[in-house]
Structures are given as C-alpha cells and as structure tokens.
Structure 1
Amino acid sequence: MIAVTALPDIDAAADDIIEAFAALLAETGRPLLDLPDLLAAWDAADPGWAGTGAGRLRLSDALDRLEAAGVVELPSRRGARWESALPRLPLRIAIPANRRMPARALDPAGEPWVPALAWAGAWIRGARPPQRLRLALAAINRWLASTMGRAVPAVCREERSLDIFDDEKMLASLAGTALFGAGRLTLDVLACEAPVGGIRVARVADAGPVLILENKATFDSAWRGLRASMAVGAPPGYAAVVFGGGDQAASLVADLVVFEALVGVRPSRFEYAGDIDVAGVSAAAAFIDTARSAGLRAGPALPLWQALGAATPAGEDLTGDPRERRAAVDAASRLGLPDVVAERLKERVRVPQERLDRTRLADVSWWTPSA
C-alpha cells in the first residue's frame, strides 16, 4: 500500500481512486502530460471533488504517492515548472510506462516461459491483465532466461529493476500488482530485495568521512560493502553512510552539524553522490552549498560520480527545463564534478545511481577514500 500524506481537514483519496487515476494516465499513451489534461484525468477518477480546492489538495497528495511508487515523475520542486497557486501542482509530469513504443497485446502462447514463470501463460489467458503487466512479465521472463545456468548475486530491488527494464522504479511500482503474490512472482525469484534505509544512517566506524547518497538502494548497497570489507580486516574508508533522499538532503544539514552527538561518529568531512540528471546534480549542489554555509567540510564523492558518468544511461532526462539544465551544468563545473557529468547533462540523458549496484560496490577499493 502506498503511504498517504495527511491532509488538513480533508480525507486523502482512497487507494482505488489512486489506482484508477494511474490507469487513466497510462491509458493516455503519452510520456508527458500537461496540467490541464492531468486535472481532467483527476476529475474523472475523483468526481466527488471535481473542480474544488479540496480536489486540488487530494490531487497533490495523489501525485506524491504515485511519484513514491514510481508511476509518475514530477519536475524538480526547486524549479519553475510548478503553478504558483497553492497547493502547487506541476505544469507537466512524466509517465515512464508510456515512454515505450506501443505493441500488440502479448500472446502468452508465443512466449517460451522459463520454469519459474510456468504459471504465466494460463494466468494471462484467464485473468486478461492489462498490457502493462503482460509486457512487464515478458521482460522479466526474458531476463530470467538470460540468467539460466549461472548463479545471480542478490542486489537491491531498484538495481535489479534497472537490469530488467532500464527503469529503476519499475519493480517497486509492480510490487502491489497481481504479478506478485502466492504462487506468482517474488523478489527472491529475481534475486533481489527491497532496500533498507528508513532510519537513514548506517554507522561503520568511530570517526572519518561520511558519505551522503541520494537513493535508498545505493545507500543499502554501500553500507553492506563497507561492512563486508571491515569483516576481512580492511579499513572502512567511510565512517558512516547516510540516505539523503534527493531534494531532502539539504534539510539534513542541521542534523549533520550535531552528527557526533546523534550517531556517535566524529565526521571529518561529508561527501555527496547522486543521480546524473538535472534533479540529481541540483540536489547535490543544494546539499553541498547548505552544508558549507553551516560550516561543514562538504564536497562531491568524485569516484562515484566518475563511475556513474561512464555507466549506461537509462533514457531521456525529463527532470529539468532548459534554464534548470543550464544551472545544473554550471553547478557541476562549480562543484568540480568530473567532466563526464556535464557531458551527460548536455546530452539530456539520465544515469540513475542504481547503475552502481551491490556487486559493483562490493569492491570498496575504488570508491572509498584512502585511510
């Protein structure tokens, strides 16, 4: 179930309304949707509040919930692509599932299902699921087929999602659908697990540099790599890892100022790494600038940015408008990020941090500071 944000004196929309809204967005077939069409879809899904201020509040909450589930992508909240009226609504959203070319409905008889998905053909014929689920199941099937006969190391869910779909959020968005459940798909079948990170910090040593990571999956993989390295006698490199949460990272600075008192780790400096896209570089700049203003030693985790820049992009970057993109390119230069970061920004492609998965981060020698 998607987490619900509390609304003042107004009930948040029920899950079935949110699901109907998501289905309407997907049925448009459009990868980008402007606000008038967004409002029309919401009024159709939530007609009891159509055209009211309360309806806008419910829509704002619904968009936050769908963004958390990976169903939609919202513009950077620091940018200009939002209405000025409250509650602020985005002028345009992205619908990742609609970026792919439409295809004919998948014929279950034409797909050679792997043993782990032997149930899939009969399920498709009987349940007649929407095309989105059919295509997702086919992509999973083909990935499983490509891995048969070899041991596949476990990674985080978002990292596996990139492997299968070239979209780090897709598996999380499928978790609550009919694909998953008793006798069907599990994360174990896909050799992955949901990342931890609700408490946002992993303590590794008493003192040293602290790494701030934008995404929960990378946070989970990083602290595991550091712990495993320590278990064989290697110095940890980082004394702690913090899940920054993208745009939220700058708001953590007040806690980082008293980090030793809170966590028992004496930080020598703070290093940040995130996605390579307009939103990710903007979040890095906001965090580093805020931290420095608070008197903290802060900068980018350069090896992680360099490695991510060399990784395969995951499609077009829709996280910023031209003005925001120029600002992000300038910020990349000002922060001293590797040249490849600015090159990716200028190419208008995005490289999710999850490209550096658990297997890659298990070797800590290339991405941690020298002791």
Structure 2
Amino acid sequence: MSESPNNGADPRWTKEFTERLRQLELRPGRVIISLDQLHAEFTQVFAHRPGIPDRRVWLLDALRYAEQQGVIRLPTQKGKLWDPSGQPPLPSRVRRVAVPKPAREAWWRTRYWPPELEWLLDLETLDEAHDAFLLRVEQGLKECWFKDAAPLRHRSIQLTGDDKRLGVLLDGVLFKKGRLTPALLNCASDTLPLAHEVVGGPPVALVFENKEPYNLALAVLRALARRPYGVVAFGGGGSFQQSVRAFTDIQASELYRQRVGQPLQRIDYVGDLDWPGLAIAAQAARRAQEAGLPPVVPALGAYHAMLNALLDPRINCPEGLAVQDTKTHRRSHLTWLPEDLQKRIEPMLLNNRRVPEEMLTERSLRDWWATL
C-alpha cells in the first residue's frame, strides 16, 4: 500500500494499525496473529473513521501495507489459509516477522580476566543472562571464595542468589570442556555414592535402580555357591546417571582385585520398565561410554522375568500397571532395549502403563541366574 492509498483511507490510520500489529502482545514463542485479533486491532483504529465503504477491502489493504513494512507476512494466495466467507477473501491468520535484536557489544572481549576465565576472550557471543554470574565468579576468584570446598547449592547461592541455579548452569555452555568446572569452584560432589558389594563372581556388574530389588538380589547372591556376577550395586534411581563413573574406582580397589581380578566386561542394568527408568538407563550408558567404562546393557533375564510376572494369576495384570503421573519422554530411549523387548513394552508405555522392578522375586532371580 502506498503512502496515499487509493481507497481513500488516511495514511495515518494505516500506519497506526501497522504499529499496533508490531506492538501486539503475543504469548511467549508465538508469532501467529489470528483473523479475530486482526479484526479487533482494525476496529480499534478504524471504527470511528468516516467513509469506510467496504471494511474487508480496507482491512486487506492495511494488511498488505503492514507486510510491505516488514511487520507481518501474509500466507500465500494459493494456500488454504484464507477466509472465503466474503469478498475479498481475508487471511485466516498472519505471521508476525521477528524483529532482530540489535547487535550486543562484546564487552567480555575487552575485559582483563583472571587466567581461569581467559577463554571468554575467544567467545563471539555471550548470553546476557550469564553476565552477572561470570562477574561473580571473577570476584570469587580474586577474593579466594573457592579456597574451601562447599556444597553445590551453597556455591549456587553465593554466585547466583538461588540454590538451584548453578545446577542448571552446569549443563550449559559455560561448563563445556576448557571452560568452567565444578572443581574450579571447589564444589563438593552432589553425586550420590554408588552403594555396592563385591561378591566375587565373574567380571560383570549388576545394578538395580531401586533399593528393595537390590537388597533381595544381594541376599540371594550371598547364598549361592556359584555367583553369576562379581559386583552388585544400587543405582539410586536417577543418581546412577552420574554415579556410574564410580566403577572406575571400584575396579581399582584392592577388594575388587582380590575377589574378581579382571577388568569389568559389562554392566548389566535392571530398572523400572517405564519412560523415566529407560531414560536413566540410556543416560547412564552414554556417560559410561564417555568415561571409557564397559557398556551398560539391559539385564535381559530380569526384564523377561518382570514381564512374565504380570501373567501370574495372583497378579493378573498383563497390560502392566497404570502410570499415575505421565511425564514427557523420548521414544529414542527405547532403543537401549533390544528389538524384541521394544516391541513388547512400547504398547504398554504408550498406553500409560509400566512394569515396576519390584515384580522380581527370589524365585525369579534364582531361575534367571540358573541360566547364566
């Protein structure tokens, strides 16, 4: 639309409408403006203006002008996103064009940093949300805040004012290789110790997600003359994603050298057959690989025993147990299981069902281990 539209509209009205679309508050992450919203904004500007012979024509002209100004993008005329209920057809929705943020001054590249933070000089960009945190770290280094070890949450309050914020930052760009580390900040480990026992069998470890199956398995193994595992451990739920690294120290211990003597060949894992349980296993397997440890693999005998227990007439729950709280999940975590188990368990999971690890009993453990 030109500065002097030939439909008789005052250009000031059209510019005001365009600016309203530019400033329109949308929900976070949203860029779509519906036709109802467009009508509402148009009415605010044009409702009391005289001489509107055809409201749809004027609205369409105003939208085209807004598109020329780079504020919105109209859908293609050949598409289906047009309302044909009147003439001329109007777009059922438009997309607001994102306004690029002005370039940020790279203040961190002109600052004199202590040696531990000199990697900042190589960064092309830096999230503004990290500015205050980095300046607090700099202050802490200069004033020797990190001389004494402290819990992670204590250090988080010290550096961010929030006891959980540092835990989030640990998984972000500031803690990539060659940058910040928990050791630099002298944070005491927040990883739950890996409870375990070296039982003196072959160089294979068995880890349970939950404490009761672990206690049961340990009691049964102690009574066996021939033990199918050299180490039994309690993963502590999601803690195992971090504590799996403890197997490096376990293998270096004198007790392990005496009772097992050979490097671990693999780590068998048993957890709940649900989305959180599979996520724990998949993440632990990835971190074990990163640490140069043997693979974390499914303890197949345990999982088959858990599934078969659902068919016990005293339980009679072949479809699995109902999930009380549904959570987001990644179907890619299913690939940690072999294909036959994936096919058997996926329908349950998608139907909000699960198989708890506590389906294991002394009899099912003995039957499973008799086959190893």
Structure 2 length as normaliser, TM-score?
A: 0.41
Structure of greater Rg: 2
Higher RCO, Cα 8 Å, sep 6+:
1
